[in-house]
Amino acid sequence: MMIPSKKVQRCLLAVLFTTLATGAHSAAAHELRLAMQSDITGLDPHDTTDNLSYSVQSAVYERLFQFDRQMKLVPALATGYRANDNATEFVIDLRDNVRFSDGAPFNAAAAKTNLDRLADQGMGLKRNNMFSMIDHTEIINEHRIKIVLKQPFGAMINTLAHPSAVMISPQALKKYSNENDLRVHPVGTGPFIFTGWASGRSVSFVKNPNYWEKGWPRVDKVTFYPTPESATRVARLRAGEVDAVMPLDAQLTKAIGRDTHLKVVHDASVLQHYIVINNLKPALKDVRVRRALNYAMDRNIWLRAVHGNMGTVASAPMANAIPFYQAQAPYAHDPHKARELLKEAGYPDGLSLNMWIANDTSSILASQLIKQQLAAAGVRLQVVPMDSATRTGMIYNVSDPNAARYDLVLRGWSPSTGDADWALRPLFTTGAWVPKLDNESYYSNPQVDDAIQGALGSADADKRGAQYARAQQLIWKDAPVIFLGNPDNLTALSRNLDGVYMLPDTTFAFNHAHFVSDNVQQ
């Protein structure tokens, strides 16, 4: 065999290394691939209710205000605001030199179009109800608007920071006036441009070359892969098929820890886990039964077995990181007391209930534990797993509340406005019964309604605090749900990936995603 000369050998080696190096770099540095636990439900944030979809939508869409990693309010498409004393008028300054990816300018008119769309209760969008307090929006000049409210609303700026309050291109709103078109043609000001959604397989985006924030984004493409099975998500990460996994099941942290190419990112969460109790069912109308269910649960065991002991157990109807949180006397695990309460309520032989759960790994594990714990108090549980779209449909498409078929539903709620109002009002007020908002328990206590409404009517922190304290106390006593707790948010990433994390409300951020090799280059 002829051996090539040394010079030729060197050249060949150089070519080989260059190819390998650039090849590896282009694969690693320019495409971000994420595995997530389910598919998105659509791409119009105004008509979305789930955090996973909001997160994916944030590739394209931005809001006036948003939250940082500590759930602190920060400006995004707005640069600042002023409110009047009784919280009925908000003047907002808008960022200059921002364009939608279809070329339309982002200005006061565009912001007004979007706020009008959100506030118009006749639109039939899932998040209209959240903005019903807006009376109208005025254009003050090209980059300044004034939002005028019907009544005082202390949590307005937090509500504008909710992931549904995004700015959609007015041109796109005109072009795709049918909601079915708009939900698959998102056009916003965000760091990425939508390229396609293969239902159940992937959602993909490319870099927006005209993005307003200088130097970002630093990845050329982002693709999301719905992967419901948590071990499969991690397997894909370990095989290098994806760069990040959201969320990571606590049981799998060990699997990541053993791999030197991967890392676990760990953040406190405001997501409250709970079990909806259908308060309209004859047996569950009785507060003694609902309290019995709360006494039957050992929350510490739940946190340890399902969430690797990372997080906190519930001590109020909302997470302790939410402003105005107030700790309540705990429902200590006491199966004996639970049995006694059931006996008092007329169920000496216990009772049989069904519980709807999502069919993901962590819910299935939690459901087995819950079944076991309730059984110790004499409650026989039939667990019904279903995929999240079916479950949401079956819960929300019920016109007669008495026709709802569930007794219990394993759920989580994270107040994405970072405020007590959105932590309590959608779940516990009478006006929030599904499908209007998210009170799946059909819980109703006029005193709670008054307290929550009272807190909204004031911008004074002390007054709001007192009302929320009262609301939490009443809700805790009435036990309209089985309170569980707030497990930490866990994600797993390739070791060289930075800028991808979960916010306390469980939405995830990736607009500042970059691979560490980028830093070396720059």
Partner 1 sequence: MTSTTAMPTAASLSSPFQRWRRRFLRHRVALAASVILLLLVVIALLAPVLAPYNPYQSDWLAISSFPTAAHWFGTDELGRDILSRIMYGARLSLWVGLASVSLGTIGGIVLGLIAGFKGGWLDSLIMRSSDVLFAFPGMLLAIAVVALLGPGLNNVILAVAIFSVPIFARLVRAQTLTLRHSTYVDASRSVGASNTTLMFRHILPATLPSVVVYFTMRIGSSILTAAGLSFIGLGPEPDVPEWGNMLASSRSLMMAGAWHVSVFPGMAILITVLVFNLLGDALRDTLDPKAR
Distances in Å between the alpha carbon of 34 and those of 43, 57, 235, 487?
17, 14, 13, 22
Q: Which amino acid is it at 220?
A: D
How does strand 501-502 pair with strand 508-509?
antiparallel
How does strand 73-75 pair with strand 65-67?
antiparallel
> 247 and 491 in contact (C-beta within 8 Å)?
yes
Find the DSSP H helices in 147-252. Answer: 156-160, 170-175, 179-182, 230-238
Q: Does 313 bind partner 1 (CB under 8 A)?
A: no
Residue from 383, 394, 466, 509 that binds partner 1 (CB under 8 A)?
383
101 to 160, contacts with partner 1 by CB under 8 A?
none
Residue from 105, 323, 350, 385 that binds partner 1 (CB under 8 A)?
385
Instruction: Tell me how far apart the alpha carbons of residues 281 and 407 are, in angstroms, rounded to a whole number.
Output: 7
Closer to partner 1 by Cβ: residue 151 or 372: 372
- Contact map string, positions 190 to 229, toward partner 1, x by CB under 8 A: ---------------------------------------x
Beta bridge partners of 412: 273
Query: Which residue in 491, 450, 456, 488 sits closest to 471, CA to CA?
Result: 450
Number of residues interacting with partner 1: please give it, by CB under 8 A. Answer: 28
Region from 3-11, 98-106, 370-378, 493-501 binding partner 1, contact rule CB under 8 A: 370-378
How does strand 501-502 pair with strand 221-226?
unpaired
- Give the helix/strand (H/E) hosting 424: helix 420-428
Tokens 């309520």 found at: 345
Region from 33-41, 202-210, 263-271, 377-385 binding partner 1, contact rule CB under 8 A: 377-385
Instruction: Tell me how far apart the alpha carbons of residues 495 and 256 are, in angstroms, rounded to a whole number.
Output: 10
Q: Does 305 bind partner 1 (CB under 8 A)?
A: yes
CB of 390 to partner 1, least distance (A): 12
Q: Does 372 bind partner 1 (CB under 8 A)?
A: yes
How does strand 31-36 pair with strand 244-246?
parallel
Region from 95-103, 133-141, 160-168, 359-367 binding partner 1, contact rule CB under 8 A: 359-367
Q: Does 235 bind partner 1 (CB under 8 A)?
A: yes
Distance in angstroms between the alpha carbons of the first and the last residue of the chain: 45
Region from 48-56, 187-195, 289-297, 366-374 binding partner 1, contact rule CB under 8 A: 366-374
Residue from 109, 206, 280, 364 that binds partner 1 (CB under 8 A)?
364
Q: Does 301 bind partner 1 (CB under 8 A)?
A: yes
CB of 461 to partner 1, least distance (A): 42
Instruction: Tell me how far apart the alpha carbons of residues 360 and 253 are, in angstroms, rounded to a whole number.
Output: 17
Residue from 230, 272, 416, 467 that binds partner 1 (CB under 8 A)?
230
CB of 408 to partner 1, least distance (A): 14
Distances in Å between the alpha carbon of 348 and those of 317, 373, 424, 482?
29, 17, 33, 21
Instruction: Tell me how far apart the alpha carbons of residues 191 and 205 are, in angstroms, rounded to a whole number.
Output: 9
Residue from 11, 12, 231, 461 that binds partner 1 (CB under 8 A)?
231
- Enter the tokens of residue 395: 């819960």
Phi and psi dihedrals of 350, rounded to 5? 75, -170
- Enter the tokens of residue 516: 């560490």
Closer to partner 1 by Cβ: residue 174 or 254: 254
User: What is the SS3 assignment for 124-192?
Assistant: CCCCHHHHCCEEEEEEEECCEEEEEECCCCCCHHHHHCCCCCECCCHHHHHHCCCHHHHCCCCCCCCCE
239 to 298, contacts with partner 1 by CB under 8 A?
249, 251-255, 258
3-state secondary structure (DSSP) of residue 203: strand
3-state secondary structure (DSSP) of residue 20: helix
CB of 383 to partner 1, least distance (A): 5
CB of 376 to partner 1, least distance (A): 10
CB of 385 to partner 1, least distance (A): 6
> 190 and 220 in contact (C-beta within 8 Å)?
no
Instruction: Tell me how far apart the alpha carbons of residues 34 and 237 are, in angstroms, rounded to a whole number.
Output: 9
Q: Does 361 bind partner 1 (CB under 8 A)?
A: yes
Region from 56-64, 219-227, 357-365, 502-510 binding partner 1, contact rule CB under 8 A: 357-365
Q: Is the backbone of residue 154 left (phi > 0), alpha (psi -120 to 50) or beta?
A: alpha
Q: Does 369 bind partner 1 (CB under 8 A)?
A: yes
Rounded to an integer, what is the distance from CA 440 to the centroid of its chain? 17
Closer to partner 1 by Cβ: residue 234 or 313: 234
Residue from 359, 392, 453, 496 that binds partner 1 (CB under 8 A)?
359
Closer to partner 1 by Cβ: residue 203 or 381: 381
CB of 251 to partner 1, least distance (A): 4
Q: Does 367 bind partner 1 (CB under 8 A)?
A: yes
Region from 38-46, 139-147, 272-280, 361-369 binding partner 1, contact rule CB under 8 A: 361-369
Closer to partner 1 by Cβ: residue 27 or 231: 231
Q: Does 304 bind partner 1 (CB under 8 A)?
A: yes
Closer to partner 1 by Cβ: residue 179 or 229: 229
Instruction: Tell me how far apart the alpha carbons of residues 183 and 315 are, in angstroms, rounded to a whole number.
Output: 39
Whether residue 247 is preceded by a cis peptide bond, meaning omega within 30 degrees of 0, is yes
CB of 424 to partner 1, least distance (A): 32
Question: Is the dihedral angle over the CA atoms 262, 264, 265, 270 positive or is it negative?
Answer: positive
CB of 491 to partner 1, least distance (A): 16
Residue from 118, 167, 173, 234 that binds partner 1 (CB under 8 A)?
234
Question: Which residues in this chain contact partner 1 in the complex, by CB under 8 A?
Answer: 229-231, 234-235, 249, 251-255, 258, 301, 304-305, 359, 361, 364-365, 367-369, 371-372, 375, 382-383, 385
